[in-house]
Amino acid sequence: MTHAVIPLGLAMAAGPSRLPARLTLIGVGLAMAPDLDVIGFNFGIQYAEAWGHRGATHSLIFALLVALLIWPMVRKLVGTSRRSMLIAISFLFASMASHGLLDALTDGGLGIALAWPWSDERFFFAWRPVEVSPLGVQRFFSARGAEVLGSELRWIVLPWLMFTASIFALRKVWGRR
């Protein structure tokens, strides 16, 4: 759920004239979508495989491809000017790409396949302050899940909200001039 704060913050900083609410909701969905790869466990796809958890769906190229593929369906939300198209595609890409980048800050798992399809290697950032979330609904709603949410609040949500609130405030000040 924490992945939703990235597109919400971007939308807050950009303003509704650049990122309308419906596009923001699509961005929120894209930010959480990479974890749908856990469905693969039901079909025998192993965690470490390219299409396993934190694999291809968490890569930067996958995020770009999805943003480009859904653009024709969302362009009516922002218009067809070159500028609005670039803003919307960048937003959609950033929303989905943020998932893998945030996961690379966690302290568990096998890493993130950020460079797929060029490499199946999985990466973490050198600094990994965020506690990894347990897989499964029952495990998530436990004492361990509460610890993870606290970690995400400290290392992702609050810093991101401070950053986007600062951008929002600067936009308001610049807008008055």
Angle formed by the axes of helices 60-78 and 21-32, nearest 10°: 160
Buried b (16+ CB within 10 A) or exposed e, 135-168: eeeeeeeeeebeebbebbeebbbeebeeebeeee
* Domain region containing 65: 2-176
Residue 108 burial (10 A CB sphere; 0-12, 13-18, 19+)? middle
Rounded to the nearest 5°, which phi and psi values hold at 67? Answer: -60, -45
Q: How many domains does the chain have?
A: 1
pLDDT in tens, 51-100: 999 999 999 999 999 999 999 998 888 888 899 899 999 999 999 999 99
Low-confidence stretches of the chain (pLDDT beneath 70): 136-137, 139, 176-177
pLDDT of 177 reads: 52
Q: How distant is the alpha carbon of residue 73 from its chain centre?
A: 20
